[in-house]
């Protein structure tokens, strides 16, 4: 069995890395793949909250790296999906606890446990945590908002993926990069107030794996500790399911990328 | 708004301003990132040695330069041959 390590990264904070990691890992497990999602944001863990397992965290990634406990003691099994496991970040230690050889050992142990997908939720920034999260990656989801600072930071991260990762250093096949645009608002794009997905795609020159529409449902989901992909029937949930399907090699046209025309009533009397 | 803009002359949308700004700054930043490979001076010396076997040239007559054009890396080698008298 081959395992795939996928880093979810962006450079900029607050663009939807953790939201994406949680829903992407959940989506893979929903499709029957044994998946583990790891929080690399040591000191500022949040994936546990988004996954709704914050009260079940006893041990974390750093405990495993420091050989204080066994990996199986730190893995938290998802309540709904028996193929999904979460490995939390430490809340107390600092980033220097993330040693490269330790990270490698944990990833290898997960491979031995026959995890098909290992999702690494990167912290923001371009320091140790982010570098460790991407170092052993086979593929990368680069999360980008249609906004200038996010696009610039994504470009920087794409540069690092092609120069600082193990694959880049060993000179092997490069990390396979996927662009994921989140918080997309087609109506604002049509009004010329927001960069379009074609603009972003043209600037970053990275294959697009999906577009997640801007929606209040994301906050509703995180309030409850549910990965937003579980919000049945919502656009965001559907968009994440499409991302997972495309990642698994299926051909799905992009959805939720066209402006929705307001009704004549709204246009006359004003909606917002 | 659209109606007024039509008569007052089209104003550029903020999204297209964003796109232009990004394209400019990223072109600049990408250049700084991919500094020229470290084998260029060695390549230049060896080229001089080879060409010197046939034509007498000076080390300064040969310029080796690496440049990025879109997805392509272009290796530019410019050799000035001395005027034949």
Which SS3 state, helix, strand or coil, does residue B72 take? strand
Helix/strand/coil percentages in chain A, nearest 5 = 45, 15, 40
Residue A271 has pLDDT above 70, yes or no: no
Other beta carbons within 10 angstroms of residue A260's beta carbon come to 9
- Choose among A159, A194, A205: nearest Cβ to B15: A194
- Of the candidates A244, A11, A5, the one whose C-alpha atom is nearest the C-alpha of residue A143 is A11
Provide the CB-side half-sphere exposure for A19 (13 A, CA): 31
The answer to whether the Cβ–Cβ distance between A195 and B29 falls below 8 Å is: no
* Bigger pLDDT: A198 vs B39: A198
Query: Which residues, in sequence order, are bridge partners of residue A60?
Result: none
- Choose among B13, B29, B30: nearest Cβ to A193: B13
The answer to whether the Cβ–Cβ distance between A148 and B30 falls below 8 Å is: no
pLDDT at A272 (0 to 100): 46
* Bigger pLDDT: A49 vs A172: A49
Structural element, H or E, at residue B43: helix B40-52
- Choose among B13, B19, B33: nearest Cβ to A203: B19
The answer to whether the Cβ–Cβ distance between B15 and A148 falls below 8 Å is: no
- Of the candidates B67, B49, B68, the one whose C-alpha atom is nearest the C-alpha of residue B58 is B49
A209-246 pLDDT, tens digit each: 999 999 999 999 999 999 999 999 999 999 999 999 99
pTM: 0.81
Question: What DSSP string describes A42-66?
Answer: TTS--HHHHHT-GGG--S-HHHHHT
Chain A contact present for B11, CB below 8 A: no
Which SS3 state, helix, strand or coil, does residue A207 take? coil
Angle at A129 between CA A125 and CA A134, to 5 degrees: 90
The sign of the torsion formed by the CA atoms of A197, A201, A204, A208 equals positive
Chain B positions touching A197 (Cβ under 8 A) are none
- Of the candidates A191, A192, A232, A184, the one whose C-alpha atom is nearest the C-alpha of residue A211 is A184
B21-79 pLDDT, tens digit each: 999 999 888 877 765 566 777 888 888 888 888 888 887 888 888 776 767 778 888 88
A86-109 pLDDT, tens digit each: 999 988 776 678 889 999 999 999
What average pLDDT does the segment A243-256 reach?
Answer: 96
Chain A positions touching B18 (Cβ under 8 A) are 147-148, 195, 199
- Of the candidates A259, A213, A258, the one whose C-alpha atom is nearest the C-alpha of residue A238 is A213
To the nearest whole angstrom, how far is the Cα of B34 from the nearest Cα of chain A? 9
Q: Which two tokens stand for residue A158?
A: 């794409």
Chain A contact present for B16, CB below 8 A: yes
Provide the CB-side half-sphere exposure for B56 (13 A, CA): 3
A146-195 pLDDT, tens digit each: 999 999 999 999 999 999 999 999 988 999 999 999 999 999 999 999 99
How far is A175 from A43, CA to CA, in rounded Å?
Answer: 27
ipTM of the complex model = 0.81
The answer to whether the Cβ–Cβ distance between A196 and B15 falls below 8 Å is: yes
pLDDT at A221 (0 to 100): 96
């Amino acid at each position: 069995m081959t395992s795939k390590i996928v880093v979810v990264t962006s450079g900029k904070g607050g663009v939807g890395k953790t939201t994406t990691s949680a829903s992407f890992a959940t989506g893979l497990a929903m499709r029957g793949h044994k998946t583990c999602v790891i929080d690399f944001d040591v000191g500022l863990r949040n994936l546990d909250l988004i996954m709704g397992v914050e009260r079940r965290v006893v041990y974390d990634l750093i405990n495993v790296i420091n050989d204080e406990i066994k990996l199986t003691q730190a893995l938290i099994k998802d309540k709904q999906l028996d193929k999904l496991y979460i490995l939390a970040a430490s809340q107390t230690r600092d980033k220097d606890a993330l040693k490269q050889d330790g990270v490698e050992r944990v990833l290898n142990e997960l491979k031995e446990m026959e995890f098909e997908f290992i999702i690494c939720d990167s912290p923001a920034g371009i320091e140790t945590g982010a570098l460790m999260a991407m170092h052993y990656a086979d593929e990368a989801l680069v999360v980008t908002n249609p906004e200038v600072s996010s696009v610039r930071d994504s470009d920087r991260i794409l540069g690092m993926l092609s120069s600082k990762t193990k694959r880049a250093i060993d000179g092997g096949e490069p990390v396979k990069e996927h662009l994921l645009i989140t918080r997309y608002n087609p109506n604002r794009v049509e009004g010329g107030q927001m960069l379009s997905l074609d603009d972003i795609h043209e600037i970053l020159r990275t294959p697009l794996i999906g577009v997640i529409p801007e929606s209040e449902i994301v906050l509703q989901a995180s309030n409850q500790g549910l990965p937003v992909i579980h919000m049945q029937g919502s656009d965001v949930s559907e968009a994440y399911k499409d991302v997972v399907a495309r990642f698994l090699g299926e051909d799905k046209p992009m959805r939720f990328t066209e402006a929705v025309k307001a009704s004549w009533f709204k246009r006359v009397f004003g909606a917002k | 708004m659209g109606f007024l803009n039509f008569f007052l002359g089209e104003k550029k949308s903020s999204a297209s301003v964003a796109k232009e700004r990004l394209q400019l700054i990223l072109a600049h930043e990408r250049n700084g990132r991919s500094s020229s490979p470290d084998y260029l001076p060695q390549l230049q010396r060896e080229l001089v040695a080879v060409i010197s076997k046939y034509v007498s040239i000076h080390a300064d007559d040969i310029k080796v330069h690496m440049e990025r054009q879109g997805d392509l890396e272009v290796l530019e080698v410019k050799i000035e041959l001395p005027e034949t008298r």
